[in-house]
Structure 1
């Protein structure tokens, strides 16, 4: 508990919430002036804010990398970005057994990978087997968590496949819509994890790799004959674009200038100060909120001052989240109000995720942390100091954390910032070499809590043993497909996470894309990632 109060949570209906957020935020779908019939042909020139780290969707985690990999791989299902409904893609129908242990998919006939081999039940089997047996939780933590308890995939007939789990796994149907569980050709599934990252993959998506330079650039070209798009797509047949050229432009000002000058058609991470220049040249800023776990600080509870639960709890009211948004991000972003973002099915608002520095000071004082000569608190000769590991996966991360650092100092906490590359951040997270780490996780299902906080999954809190109430909530949400029942279990999990100080929320991530006047229908999927299937450009 924080102080003497239990965390108070207010439930929000998931589908109504998605509609409300989509209405409130500018441009959850198309960009700028999209009037007139779409034109076929041309190359979209896109500027990424961070280098694509891996060509393989199963091993992709950053949004900038997923923007590339999502285009080359299809999934069994898709998730409608407006309603959250799971809709057909490679699978034209499916059945879930009453125990949520068996999922049977009937595949669409006539679908092929870009190497000409069929997308059949054997391809699904090999894809899932490779994730579990070859990649595992270190190389592919997200899909491995989606396949937790996987006992195998059975080829019922060439177009029917049954995926089986040892224990209930109700989240798997939504997981089957993610790019991380996208279906790959046999040639890719036979490769090592390293080769899959470096040299591209063979999928059945609307685009294929023409060139991939790890950590530098990627070029995709239209898949000739593509005719099996998701039911959530805006048209049928081949994509409109001939090609997509991704280049890496780390500096925000350079990205903005490149859109306004016409050198690039669209760019990632358009910040509020970028809007006037882009809009003055006929472009627009398109935004949509991310579902999933908010941006926040995850403490390593196994070492240092953050092993003290009172310290972890005190950090929650010490942060002025509205100031973070107002100072750094602008109107298209929201302060975090819980562990999950408001767009996530199962989101619960917490009355304790509020700014109350006096309460933070009181918690620390009662726990024996008293101010030292320089204002930083001490206990038994130990300064209340820890470092926060982070990478620049989002353009605002460093500035946000610098402001958090100032806010924490006002209550007597010394937070040091440890900025590293994304690969180093991932490596140190996996090894537990950090005091605290700062990140977010995107997914359109509340089960992302299990991926982030279960002792049997990533366990970045480095919990030495399971927290019974938390693990019981995860078992419960996996055991039912009833929305109301799952939301109750998600509420229990979120409460427990805050009560134990396992997450210190900061802001909700929104995708903010700067789009020039030449690009049209730059659309977001249900997980706030870009889908370029419906995109088109003027003038070829």
Structure 2
């Protein structure tokens, strides 16, 4: 439906032209200048020009000013103004350098909309009242049910990352939300649908069923923050003890977790970020499974496992790590069993969603599980940097004050760096701190799976592991 100023190569992370044919960055990293493509129109017939781009950035600025923790706020952190230099040139200025901004211009969050879109309220836009310049137009949006798209006549400005130029091959796309995994898989296997797009990875059994029906199963790790435990290190919390954090990191058997829950060929998480994230740096040694080392650390810290007991104690207190959940999963139980092997009681407390939210806001937990998707490492700020996080209370507890200050300094170094080398140095150091200091405890690499029916061609993952329909075409099988 909507296009962006740039596009990002999913293999290299390189940014390529899209609605902007060229761009430049000032030496101080404070000003970005974009040259717009000629001949682009929105689906309401209005032309793409500098004023339209300026209005999109003004809306982004209005959103983060109204909701400081809004998704995508880091993309435009420090944004001061967007100015139309002439019809085809836009200048975007920042108060401080923000090296993540340029990648942000390739995302759907900063996709360029027609000025008429902003006549609608934010609520109306969320319900589909938007006009873009993309290869499809929205026919209907049925919240909780599905989306209907139709081909945009005359579209001819795709980025070079696509396999063709011109109009989309498909006349229409019908997207239906199916909550049950078995129904979704069954629909594709029976020929009732052309693409299956699960929220969670296909099980090994589902993959076997799909492939036996002639479907092609494809996958790509989602860039961004891996599925991880994040600690509560507030004063008095069990994970305020660095020894317990160190032991917890060593007690998680990530290889067994991946193979048991998702299958023998599932990739093993190897860092705070998933492997497709730009500047990803493996933390293999720090994340190695070492139950003996975990036990030794706990013994040295005074957590004793008496003969015949399941869990360690210290000064009459059982070594218990509490995770509030709304429903128990096989992965939760497996992790519980792994931690029990070193004498840690991993207690899963089940709550209603509203009750759990209250518990989190009050800090009455030891660990929470979360993740975030974006093909840029600063995305983790939205979780752990209290200056930008959606939950200030949660972010304030994930690290000790000393570590939090170090993390914020590394974020600032990465975001203000004006060279790739400077960014890499900052983000390499950040990833090491996150694991070594027990800010994040990676559990598994998040992988986006998809299955396509026989006769479906041109499937492509975007840099954020989303599905692009533009190149897809169908043949008779």
TM-score (norm 1): 0.79
The equivalent residue for 1:375 is: 310
8 Å contact 1:139–1:193 — kept in the other structure? no
SS of 1:236's partner is coil
**What's the counterpart of residue 272 of structure 1?**
204
Match of 2:437 in 1: 500
Pairs within 5 Å for 1:95-134: 95-134=24-63
Secondary structure (helix, strand or coil) at the match of 1:462 reads: helix
Structure 1, residues 505-530: CA drift from partner, whole Å, max 9, x if none?
11112211121113222210112111
Correspondence for 1:177 = 106
Cα pair 1:137 1:145 within 8 Å, conserved: no
Q: Bigger radius of gyration, 1 or 2?
A: 2
Residue among 241, 244, 257 paired with 1:311:
244
Structure 1 counterpart of 2:367:
436
Residues 344-394 of structure 1 show CA distances to partners (whole Å, capped at 9, x for unaligned) of 2212222111111122223333334344885233445544334435689xx
Instruction: Give the Cα–Cα distance (whole angstroms) in 2 for the partners of residues 244 and 478 of structure 1.
Output: 38
The equivalent of 1:342 in structure 2 is 275
In structure 1, the residue matched to 2:260 is 327
The reply to whether residue 263 of structure 1 matches residue 196 of structure 2 is no
Residues 165-220 of structure 1 show CA distances to partners (whole Å, capped at 9, x for unaligned) of 11111221111111111112334334444333234432222222211122222222
1:141 alignment partner, SS class: coil
* C-alpha contact (below 8 Å) 1:92/1:107 kept by paired residues: yes
Gaps of 5+ in 2: none
Q: SS where residue 348 of structure 1 aligns?
A: coil
1:355 to 271, 274, 289: 289
1:239 equivalent in structure 2: 168
Question: Which position in structure 1 is the counterpart of 2:333?
Answer: 402
- d(CA) in 2 for partners of 1:138 and 1:305? 33
Q: 2:300 matched to which residue of 1?
A: 366
Equivalent residue number for residue 230 of structure 1: 159
Which shows bigger deviation, 457-466 or 505-514?
457-466
Q: How far 1:255 moved relative to its partner? A: 1.7
Q: Taking structure 1 as reference, are residues 154 and 242 closer, same or farther at Cα in structure 2, changes over 3 Å only? A: same
CA–CA separation in structure 2 for the residues paired with 1:209 and 1:231? 24
Q: Which residue of 1 aligns with 2:177?
A: 248
Tell me which moved more, 404-413 or 315-324.
404-413
Equivalent in the alignment of 1:456: 387
Give, in angstroms, the shift of residue 448 of structure 1.
2.6
The Cα of 1:439 is off from its aligned counterpart by: 2.5
Q: CA deviation at 1:332?
A: 4.6
Which digits, 9 at most, give the CA deviation of each residue in 1:233-255, with x for residues without a partner?
11111111122211222222222
What TM-score does the superposition give when structure 2 sets the normalisation length?
0.88
Q: Structure 1 pair 391/243, CA: closer, same or farther in 2 (3 Å)? A: farther
Q: CA deviation at 1:139?
A: 8.0
- Determine whether 1:385 maps to 2:314: no
Mapped pair 1:483 → 2:420: yes
Query: Residue 384 of structure 2 contacts residue 395 of structure 2 at CA under 8 Å; is this kept in 1?
Result: yes
Which residue pairs with 1:33 in the alignment?
none
The whole-number CA distance in structure 1 between the counterparts of 2:470 and 2:88 is: 25
Whole-angstrom CA distance in 1 between matches of 2:359 and 2:44: 37
Partner of residue 155, structure 1: 84
> Which residue does 1:468 correspond to in 2?
405
Structure showing greater relative contact order (alpha-carbon pairs closer than 8 Å, 6 or more residues apart): 1
Q: Could you say if the C-alpha distance between residues 378 and 129 of structure 1 is closer, same or farther in structure 2, counting changes exceeding 3 Å? A: farther
Partner of 2:449: 512
* 1:181-200 → structure 2 map (5 Å cutoff): 181-200=110-129
> What does the per-residue CA deviation read over 1:471-494, in whole Å, with 9 as the maximum and x for residues that have no partner?
222222122242233211111111
Number of paired residues? 465
